Structures are given as C-alpha cells and as structure tokens.
Structure 1
C-alpha cells in the first residue's frame, strides 16, 4: 500500500513540475524548431510594444550627396538640442540600399526603440516599415512615403515651392515680362509638382507673363550651366528664370555671368544649399532667392517622434511649407558648419 501511495505521489509531483515549466512564457530553451518558426512569422505586434525609455531610432540613407549629408547633420544637431545622449537617447543609422535599411529597421525594433524616424530609400522598404507598426512602435516617416501604415508623416511642400516662387516673381515683375521655366523630368514628381504649381499660379494671377520652358538632365551645377547656356542663346531677352533646385541655380547663375546677360533680374532656387545662400547674400545686379526644402526638416520629424513618445498629439500628415529666402533674411539661415 505504501508503495502505491509513493508512486501516486511521484506522478503528481512530475505533473506539477511539467505544468510549471509550461507556464514560463515560452522562455524554455527546449522549444521545437516548428515553434520557433511560428513565432518568427507571427506579427510582431502580438508580443512587442514600444519601450518608452528606449532610444529614438533615426533610420536614413547614407550621405551620397549634399542634401542627404545634411539629414544626418541636422538629425544629430536636433538630438543634442533636446539633450538626448547618443546610444541611450537616440540611435542614428545610415544604409546604402533598401536591403540594408530593412535589416536596420529590424535591428532597431530588437533594440527596443521608443520610436523610429524613417527616411525610406524607396517604397520598397514598406514591408520592413510595417513591422515597426506591427511591433506597436511609433513610426514617423520623413520625406518619402511608404505604402503601409504609419503614425505620422512629414515632408516639404513641392507645390508650395512653385506657388510661392510664382507669387514673388510675378509681383517683382509687375505682372509683365518673360520667365524661363526649368524642368527636370528625371526628378519625377518633384519637378512636375513644382513646375505645375508655378504655372498654375502664373496663369491665375499674372496671365500677361510669358513662360518659356527649358529642360535639364538632373539637379547638378553642370547640367544647369549647360541647359541655361542653350536657353540664353535661344532667347535674347529674359526677365527671370524659375529654377527648381539650388544646385541647378548655381549653374544657371554661372551661365548668366559667363554670357554677360544683364536683362535677367531674378533667379529662383529650391532646397537650402549654403553655397546658394552665400550667392544670395553676395549677388549684385540680379536678385536671387530660394524656397526652402531643407534637410533641416528632419528636426521636425524627430520632434514629432519625441512628442508621440511623451504622449502628446501629433497630426498624422504634416506638410511643411517653404520659407522664401532673400537677401533680406538670408543671414538667419547661414550655417558655416552645414554640409549642404
């Protein structure tokens, strides 16, 4: 009888021990391969949530040109202004391509980021970006869009650049004259939105101004110089040139100076290049201005991420209007340390 009771007691103890192990939140190292596969393919949001004490992750493309180099510069500047320590308060990572960026996104999720600010290479990173939302981590998308969901989106206003530039040029010219309009088809919607908005405002408010289209291959000084040289030869009299990029404007300005043209009184730009800011400040005989689409807008995206982490309301879609920079206010944006 005693042997039977001992056997029964041992069985009960084994059962209790197994039940206790089964309640250990999946932390057992004895999980089968099929269980691990199921967990890896399950939506991250099932068992992940943002760590409010984690760093704000900033995931952007590597600096291949001036504007993108400015992104990293202004991002770090903003984080320091906010008193965030690198590593614990913020984590800035850059990548060369979509695959690298997708891997970095997963690393930032695993790191326990409190929020992620993402400037996508292209919308091909959308699948990886969705994992951020699935992990219940706030996602602030900057400049380029993704196809999935996001917490907030911030970008500059391409149509606004065209509209505000048209208003200024039209007013300066008194509603009369001829303007050469730069198109850069290789830039896709950037060129289309800026040029279409410029033309729409001109047709609406200054219908007597004649517009002459010309085209550049890309947003470079070399291309701006080449195409402007051609348009100056083709047009003996121009009152202004509407350029949609600061780098292009630098080339156009060189073409104007090389040709000795004094008829052109106004030249626009777009972006926020420190080199072009300097030209605005120094120019004589021609009035230069630009409409900002500055990499410094990344600061607004980082602030939005911090506000979300702190529990403050942030609008889902945020379009930042351009600031017109002229000789009168250019001193406020000059920054000798800026890489762009």
Structure 2
C-alpha cells in the first residue's frame, strides 16, 4: 500500500468515531422564556402557557409550574412559554402542537383563546386550564375556591373578635366574580354565625396604593373598627400602612387573600394585629401539572378540581415561605 493510502486509511479510522460522537450530541436548550427539557423518549410531553409578567401573583404561576415540571423530570418533558397577549399565546400554542405535546397546561388570561384551545383538543391534546374558566367543551380546570375564602375570612374574624363588632369589608367590584364570590362567602357566613356584627362596605382595588389611599379615608370616617375583611394581600399591605400612619390601635384583625411572601413576613412583626391570608396561591398550578400527568396515565380525573382554602397567619406562616417566589 502506498504511503498516501496508508495515511488516508488512518484518517478515516480516526474521523468515523468522532463524527458518530457529534451525531449523538444533545442539542436541546433552556433559554429565553421557554424551557425544553430535551429528548422525550418514552416521557410525556407537556406544554405550559402563562402570561409574561416578571413579578406578582401572575408571574408566580409560571414559576411554580416550571418548578413542578422539573420535579417530574423523570416522567415528563416540558416546554414553557410566556406571552404578552392572545396573539402571542396562540402562536406559542401552535408551537406546542408542532412540538408534539401530549397535554397543555394553560393560564389563558387573554380573551379569544377559545379557538386555538379547541384546535389543540381537535389534535388530540389534553388541555388543563389553571384558574380561568374558558367556554370550550373537554377542557379540564384546576382553581381555588373564592367563595370559601370568604367563609374562612368570616370564621377567622369571629374567632378573633367575637360575634359583635365593627367590621370593614373592602370589596373590589372591578374584579367581577372574584370579588362577588369572596364577598358572598363572607357575608353569608357572618349572617349565620354572627348576625349582630356591623358590616361597613367600601370599594377599592387589588393594589397596595389603593388599599392605603382608600383605607386612610375610611379611618377618618369610622372612629371604631375591630376588623378588616380585605380580599387581597396587596390591598391589605396598604391597609396596614394606613393603620400605622394614623396611629390607630383599635383594629385587631386584617385579612387578605392570595399568598404573598412579603405579606407572610409581616405577620409575626405585627403582634397587636392578627394578619391573615386566605390562600389563593399561584402554587396551585402545580396541581394543574399533576392533573395533566394523571390524565395522560389514564387515571380518573374530575373535569373541575377546586382546591380548598388554607388559612395562613403568624402561627403557621413559616410553612409557606419560599425565597425564590416572585410573589
């Protein structure tokens, strides 16, 4: 054999294994606002759709959904997309269909998602909606219990101040059924267990700025307040600031709702006021991911799963602290 042929043969022997190694390299990535857990193999493929928000309750939905998907990495591969509007979410849903998703967990805050979600169902993909009700037959839903939040708030107030007193109810009419259900649960329970309680109803918003401004006005109009039934943790932070700035010492209870880390941390600091949150936690989205897995495994799952309310105050707040949560 010539010297040239010997060299060429040696070159081929070296390069063939190297090329084979390059062909087996994992090219999956986990960048931007989308996570892809890699080559699916026999794993279920689950897509997650959530709004693109960097802080607050809504942002924590994507955070907890991805956290649960990572915990289930031995069973599932996942992609997570966040969107700024219905058009972007629709495009991302189409991407998940092309990817071959077996199930999609969606938090469709935008109007107009019925048609693309129906398209996913028509492709044989299971869809689990978190929180939002959407009028498409065949969609599963996982959500908290807004009415029960009001029930638990009423029980908490009565437990702390008794069956008589002056209670301010801060409703948020702009939030529609959320406010109405929480308010109804509270008022109907108070009527049953403490009919002599005096309820003063005012309107506000789900922000600490509105809670501060509106409650500052309320404090000037009411000389005596025993408890505040607030529907939201953000609002309640504003309420507590207004109480502090006014130097009021008569208020014994301030409720909240949602499950905000900053609010949890305020609970032990306010020894003279019982600070409560009735959880409507973004972490419930983990149950939506679990539901998708159960469906794909062929397990029996209810079309609607309503998660009971958990009450958090200074006695148990440490159980719910999560330093990584954006809410």
TM-score range, shorter chain: 0.7 to 0.9
Cα offset for 1:254? 0.3
Structure 2: state its 5+ residue gaps. 1-40
Distance 1:183 1:129 in 2: 33
Which one of the candidate residues 46, 56, 71 is aligned to 1:66? 56
Distance 2:221 2:138 in 1: 48
TM-superposition CA deviations, 1:193-222 (whole Å, max 9, x none): 111211111111110110001111x21111
Which one has a bigger Cα radius of gyration?
1
Q: Does 1:115 align with 2:103?
A: yes
Q: Does 1:267 align with 2:254?
A: yes
Which one of the candidate residues 70, 77, 92 is aligned to 1:80? 70
- Equivalent in the alignment of 1:328: 315
Distance 1:138 1:314 in 2: 12
Distance 2:216 2:308 in 1: 32
Cα gap change, 1:319/1:102 in structure 2, threshold over 3 Å: closer, same or farther?
A: same
Q: Does 1:98 align with 2:86?
A: yes
Count of aligned pairs: 287
Equivalent residues in 2 for 1:236-251, closer than 5 Å: 236-251=223-238
Question: Residues 90 and 113 of structure 2 are in contact (CA less than 8 Å); yes or no, is this contact kept in structure 1?
Answer: yes
- Equivalent in the alignment of 2:174: 186
Question: Residues 55 and 326 of structure 2 are in contact (CA less than 8 Å); yes or no, is this contact kept in structure 1?
Answer: no
Taking structure 2 as the reference length, the TM-score comes to 0.85
Equivalent residues in 2 for 1:106-185, closer than 5 Å: 106-185=94-173
Structure 1: state its 5+ residue gaps. 1-50
- Worse-superposed segment, 162-171 or 295-304: 162-171
Q: Does 1:221 align with 2:211?
A: no
Distance 2:141 2:134 in 1: 10
Kindly report structure 1 stretches of 4+ aligned residues shifted beyond 2 Å. Answer: 51-54
User: Root-mean-square deviation (CA), in Å?
Assistant: 1.5
Cα gap change, 1:330/1:151 in structure 2, threshold over 3 Å: closer, same or farther?
A: same
Distance 1:150 1:274 in 2: 35
